[in-house]
A and B are shown apart, each in its own frame.
Chain A
Amino acid sequence: MAKTSHDQADELLPWYATGQLEPADRALVEGHLVSCARCQRQLAAERALVDQFQAFSPEVDSGWAELRGRIESRPPARPSIADSLRDFWHALTRPVLAAFAAAQLTLVALAALLFQSLSQPTYVALGSAPVAASANVIVMFRPDAREAELRRAIQSTGATLVGGPTQADAYLLHVEPGARPAALQKLQQDSRVTLAQPIDGPAQ
């Protein structure tokens, strides 16, 4: 059974709507559209679908839903680095620990080691890759953001890329602590950025 010209044109409408038809096909569709109100209406529906699909990102929705779930099921806030450090120095004033530190390690080396483990970000769960201790900003970009845009966004804040992309497609940056608030603000204003948050907090 041969296809009618209506069927032939209708079949090609999606690619006509996206401008992806070769000249012969395009001529066929345009020739038919002149006299077919149904196809004209259908073409409008196709264009609406194209628009919908530009905004439709199920992989981002799914990723976001998963991450949001993790955040919302977290236990309540932990003590800050400042509190933990205070506890540490308090402990060091006790004779036993002080003696240990003096006997085995320099105080500076011990403090450095403990500080490093205390400052490890809790966003390890976001990816299978180990998180560098110096990452203090996490940023996520739109899925259609291009590599040049990512580079510009990161460079404009003076940040360096420390890790990522993680499984949740997040990037981990390091910014000088003093420059962090300004950097976060700049990233949050970038239309390519979907998330820009500081990373703080002690390890679990």
Chain B
Amino acid sequence: MIVNGAARRPRTDAKRSSSLEEMALLDRVRRKDLRAFERLYRIYQPRLARFLFNLVQRPQLVEEVLNDTMMVVWDTAGRFRGNSKLSTWVFSIAYRKAIKAKLRWPDPVEEPALDTRVSNDPAPDEELDQRRLHDALIGAMSQLSADHRAVVDLTYFHGLGYREIAEIMNCPVDTVKTRMFHARRRLRQAMSGSLFDWI
């Protein structure tokens, strides 16, 4: 009995259609076309903001690191040769900047934001379960180190393969696999009693 393959692919449809547009924009960015750069910025901002927040966890720092990253893209667009995907290149710059920023600003002491809305009407069971799962995931992620969080986020949300993650994080492929292995174990522990109960 062969078990069916991939679950819903995160973001790959977006990846395919955007890469041509992104390369065209980058070409204009090389010629210092500011409007093209703005478009590229708006394309990358959501993904980068998410990736960076996951890493540095301070909202104000996210914007600073994001803009520092895109500044490098603007300044060094000419150096990108297409050896990797544009997104890999941008994310690897972002990762480097984030790690440097974290050295200046260690992880915040306060808990990550939880949805603390209190509802007076009895929530339907499904909604309550979702919220519990959501909170469990937030709590679990907060207990991981930045590098573990990065691997988890890049895999499950950004939908990247381990080779690409290794490029972005500038580490061996085996390190990515090991980090993921340990992260999954921690996530399992932290989320026991919610997500993994019904498996």
Contacts and interface: CB of A to CB of B under 8 A. Distances in A.
Interface of B: 1-3, 5-10, 12, 14, 39, 42-43, 45-46, 49-50, 53-54, 59-60, 62-63, 112-116, 130, 133-134, 137-138, 141, 152-153, 155-157, 159-162, 177, 180-181, 184, 187-188, 195-196, 199
B7 A58 contact: no
A128 B82 CA distance: 36
Contacts, number: 132
Contact of A58 (B54, B63, B130): B54
A49 interface: yes
A18 interface: yes
A54 interface: yes
Contacts of A165: 45
A63 interface: yes
| Majority secondary structure of chain A interface residues (helix, strand, loop or mixed) | helix
A25 B195 CA distance: 27
Interface size on A, as a range, is: 35 or more
Contacts of B59: 59, 62-63, 66, 167
User: Which applies to chain B's interface (DSSP): helix, strand, loop or mixed?
Assistant: helix
A33 B3 contact: yes
Contact of B2 (A30, A55, A64): A30
Interface of A: 10-12, 14-22, 26, 30, 33-34, 40-41, 43-59, 61-66, 143-147, 150, 165, 167, 169
Nearest to A128: B63
Contacts of B39: 147
Given A19-B159, A34-B1, A62-B53, 6 more contacts: A20-B159, A45-B199, A48-B195, A61-B112, A146-B14, A147-B42
Contact of A52 (B45, B54, B133, B159): B133
26 contacts: A11-B177, A14-B155, A16-B6, A18-B9, A19-B5, A19-B9, A34-B1, A34-B3, A43-B3, A44-B199, A45-B188, A45-B199, A48-B199, A51-B7, A52-B156, A53-B153, A54-B8, A54-B10, A56-B137, A58-B54, A58-B138, A63-B59, A65-B113, A146-B43, A147-B43, A165-B45
A84 B181 CA distance: 63
A43 B54 CA distance: 24
A59 B50 contact: yes
Contacts of B184: 14
B14 A47 contact: no
A58 B46 contact: no
Contacts of A45: 188, 195-196, 199
Nearest to A167: B63
Contacts of A40: 3
A143 B46 CA distance: 5
A40 B133 CA distance: 22
Contact of B181 (A11, A15, A52): A11
Contacts of B42: 147, 150
Contacts of B8: 50-51, 54
A169 B115 CA distance: 19
Contacts of B3: 30, 33-34, 40, 43
Contacts of B112: 58, 61-62
A168 to B, nearest CB: 9
B114 to A, nearest CB: 7
Contacts of B188: 45
A21 to B, nearest CB: 7
B115 A14 contact: no
Find the residue from A12, A16, A22, A62 having the highest chain B CB count within 10 A: A62
